Chains A and B, each alone.
Chain A
Amino acid sequence: MIKLKDNMTLSELEPGSIGIVKEFTDLEMSVKLMEMGCLPGEAVTVCRVAPLGDPIAINVSGYQLSLRKFEASTIILQ
């Protein structure tokens, strides 16, 4: 795995690369994301970006989840 810069967020991750969730910047969003299996310590892979550049699709907990770039920017990676 590539060494990530400090406080990199999920929205900055290139398609195809993997990151590990460290924490969230937004409590309200984090509750929704965690319910969907996107928890601290979990590995996330960016699968693809929508044709118009937003939202993105990620692989987490063994399934595919789509979320907007803004939402992805509240997820800080290790």
Chain B
Amino acid sequence: MKADTRVAIVGNPNTGKSTLFNILTGLNQKIGNFPGVTVDKKTGYCLLPDGRTAEIIDLPGTYSLYPKSQDESIVFSILADKSNPLTPDLVVVILDATNLKRNLLLYTQVADLKIPVIAALNMTDLSKKMGIVIDVDLVSKRLGVPVVSISARKNEGIDRLKQVIAFANKVPLQRESIDVKTIAPQLIDQISEELHLDNPYYALQLAHQHETIKFISQAESDRIEDIEKEFSFHSQKAQATETIARYNFINDLLYDTVKAPITAQEETTSNKIDKVLTHPVFGFIIFFGILLFMFQSIFSWSAYPMELIADGFVWVQNNLHHMLPAGPLTGLLVDGVIGGLSGVMVFIPQIAILFAFISILEDTGYMSRVTFMMDKLMRKVGLNGKSVVPLIGGFACAVPSIMSTRTIENWKDRMITIMVTPLVTCSARLPIYILLIGLVVPNRNVWWVFNMQGLALTGMYVFSLISAVIVAYVFKLILKGRERGYFIMEIPVYRMPRWKNVAFSMYERSKTFVVQAGKVIIAVSVILWVLASYGPGDRFAQIEKKFSQPQYTQGLKPDDLTRAMNSEKLENSYAGVLGHTIEPVIKPLGFDWKIGIALITSFAAREVFVGTMATIYSVEGSAEKMESVQQKMKTAVNPQTGQPVFSLAVAFSLMMFYAFAMQCASTVAVVYRETKDWRWPAVQFAYMTVLAYAASFVAYHLLK
């Protein structure tokens, strides 16, 4: 889509930036990466009242233009780099009306870069409730830019904001906030002159950030360094001076434009809730209660929709088998592709529910309380209170969670968090656990309320957290720290979750899961189906010849005959040969060659396990009888012992393997991107594989 103008949304964290972005763009948005860095770039399109289209960019939330993390450094690069194709024509600075003072700091910095800017005063419904009276017109007059009152949550003032965006000026109109030049007069003059800059604040920012920004040349950066030495420029002192000057300006501005009661109503309600939720005893009980409830719900709420999806796929497969002519292509499509896909699609309900919970926990502000409560505990094992967010996010997916570790300023804390996050039970493991627990754990209630399967699943989650903590402690002892850690963090007031955002996150995450996992699964299913349907040499022909002999055709019913023949074919197929090759290695863990095939195929992505199982068992099974994967696995019998293949010991051994093994190519890639060093993902892969083998071995021999 071609846009007529580009608008960037900038603001502090927790100001409703994403909500505003969602309202302006609707479902018409896409998530990508900023060039060269792995920061999520959200862009979308918005139709303006004058008929033009605006491209909206949602920039990462930040408290100031001085970045504390990689995410935040994007903001300055996008706003200041004129040669960047993403440079906005207009910046909308979103301001939290309930906390105007701190929010205005970022506004004054952005405004001083002399880009056309307007201010959106958000949460005006809340500020009214709190008794805060803001003279918006006077603020607007003092700043020299349009200020629009909105409430993104309640969808108020959005039309007016769109109008102001449409009729915004092409030239910056904002008044000077502070006299930037007085901070470092000679330095700013010298840099401006040599680099031909007309904006003193831009020159000053370059002096602060020249080492990290990518859009100036090495020669320019070196020259800035020399100028800094010449005028003995001290970055931190200059920042302190600037911040104080900016707050002086803001205090003057707000002195007669904002009237706030001494104690705000919202604050005390929030404090009352916190008395309970961060209580020394109840706080932790409630936290674990919430986690338990979350996992119980994932199990129970998803049962019905899962059944529907599974039945739907069986129905489609049945119909296709009847409609299409029998043959290898039909087999490939129906058993290979659709069979593999169905194994994974049934887990959409769980993924959606999990992401709903995580987005509610973040949206209400509860997650930052958990961070607050856990910091001391986490520090003991070498982590940081802020590690809690990636670890809980790890329940969903390690990839975005590892990216979210960027909020941890301390290098060592961050590395340890990255190293242990993939241990946390992610949503890709969920299908495997659910399948295996469903096979071996009875679906009964204990003490009336707790479902045994739910308890087993909760157990796997708790176990993954414990192992993450232990591994973190080991890394704490090994790694050498480089700098000190910080824990300066805003605690937002409690708010009702924005259900639209929750629904949006459910939709977005399920879609990503289906698209990304789907692609891999179709590819793997096709390859696997070919490998399982053809064998080396003339083995298949020989098997067919063998089963056409009278002692087989007369002594067996046609159904059993097909089954016996298919089973022998599978064993002699390329996949079977492959499985047999690794069988000696995995035999001590209780796995047979079929599970071996699944282990190999799921090394790129765990969720492929279920699809592989589905494909293997459909190739083997008779075509007339369509069953779900779980039924097929339940009836699978070890030909040597006559016992079910998936005994309690095998199922738990498999779960242990999947709990520890680093079977996720995306995680390996993201760890490399985040650490910029191959040794980190290599060490991670190695330690996780060793742990997986050991834990599996122990589990199998204890339960056997």
- Count of A-B residue pairs with CB < 8 Å: 113
Are B283 and A35 in contact, CB atoms less than 8 angstroms apart? no
In the complex, what's the smallest C-beta–C-beta distance from A2 to chain B, in angstroms? 18
Q: A59–B372 Cα gap in the complex (Å)?
A: 15
In the complex, chain B residues whose CB is within 8 Å of the CB of A66: 368, 371-372, 487-491
Which residue, B98, B247, B280, B368, has most C-beta atoms of chain A within 10 A? B247
Are A67 and B488 in contact, CB atoms less than 8 angstroms apart? yes
Q: A51–B247 Cα gap in the complex (Å)?
A: 33
Q: B373 near A: Cβ within 8 Å?
A: yes
Contact of A63 among B102, B244, B283 (CB under 8 A): B102
Q: Indicate whether A35 sits within 8 Å of B66 (C-beta atoms), given known contacts A51-B279, A55-B376, A65-B488.
A: yes
Could you give, for residues 374-404 of chain B, a 1 whenever the CB lies within 8 Å of some chain A CB and a 0 otherwise? 0111000000010000000000000000000
Q: B592 near A: Cβ within 8 Å?
A: no
Contact of A61 among B99, B239, B375, B491 (CB under 8 A): B99
Could you give, for residues 238-256 of chain B, a 1 whenever the CB lies within 8 Å of some chain A CB and a 0 otherwise? 0110011001000000000
Q: A36–B488 Cα gap in the complex (Å)?
A: 9
Q: Indicate whether A51 sits within 8 Å of B280 (C-beta atoms), given known contacts A27-B236, A32-B486, A34-B244.
A: yes
Q: B42 near A: Cβ within 8 Å?
A: no
Are B98 and A35 in contact, CB atoms less than 8 angstroms apart? no
Are B243 and A35 in contact, CB atoms less than 8 angstroms apart? yes
In the complex, chain A residues whose CB is within 8 Å of the CB of B260: 62
In the complex, chain A residues whose CB is within 8 Å of the CB of B548: none
* Chain A 39-72 residues near chain B, CB threshold 8 A: 39-40, 47-48, 50-55, 57, 59, 61-68, 71
Q: B493 near A: Cβ within 8 Å?
A: yes
Q: Which residues in A have some Cβ–Cβ distance to B below 8 Å? A: 27-37, 39-40, 47-48, 50-55, 57, 59, 61-68, 71
Are B264 and A62 in contact, CB atoms less than 8 angstroms apart? yes
Interface residue count on the B side (C-beta < 8 Å):
45
Are B102 and A61 in contact, CB atoms less than 8 angstroms apart? yes
In the complex, what's the smallest C-beta–C-beta distance from A50 to chain B, in angstroms? 5
Are B102 and A37 in contact, CB atoms less than 8 angstroms apart? yes
Contact of A48 among B101, B274, B486, B490 (CB under 8 A): B274
In the complex, chain A residues whose CB is within 8 Å of the CB of B488: 32-33, 36, 65-67, 71
* Chain B 271-310 residues near chain A, CB threshold 8 A: 271, 274-275, 278-281, 283-284
Q: A31–B493 Cα gap in the complex (Å)?
A: 24
Q: A63–B12 Cα gap in the complex (Å)?
A: 13
In the complex, chain B residues whose CB is within 8 Å of the CB of A39: 243-244, 247
* Chain B 480-511 residues near chain A, CB threshold 8 A: 486-493
The residue on A at minimum CB distance from B375 is A55
Q: Which 3 A-B pairs have the closest CB atoms?
A: A52-B376, A51-B280, A37-B102
In the complex, what's the smallest C-beta–C-beta distance from A30 to chain B, in angstroms? 6
Contact of A51 among B63, B237, B283, B371 (CB under 8 A): B283
Q: B648 near A: Cβ within 8 Å?
A: no
In the complex, chain A residues whose CB is within 8 Å of the CB of B377: 52
Contact of B243 among A27, A31, A65 (CB under 8 A): A31
Q: B259 near A: Cβ within 8 Å?
A: no
Which residue, A54, A57, A62, A65, has most C-beta atoms of chain B within 10 A? A62
Are A35 and B64 in contact, CB atoms less than 8 angstroms apart? yes
A-B CB contact pairs (8 Å), 10 listed: A27-B236, A30-B240, A36-B490, A37-B105, A55-B375, A55-B385, A62-B98, A63-B492, A63-B493, A65-B491
Are B373 and A50 in contact, CB atoms less than 8 angstroms apart? yes
Contact of B373 among A36, A52, A62, A64 (CB under 8 A): A52
Q: B68 near A: Cβ within 8 Å?
A: yes
Are A71 and B247 in contact, CB atoms less than 8 angstroms apart? no
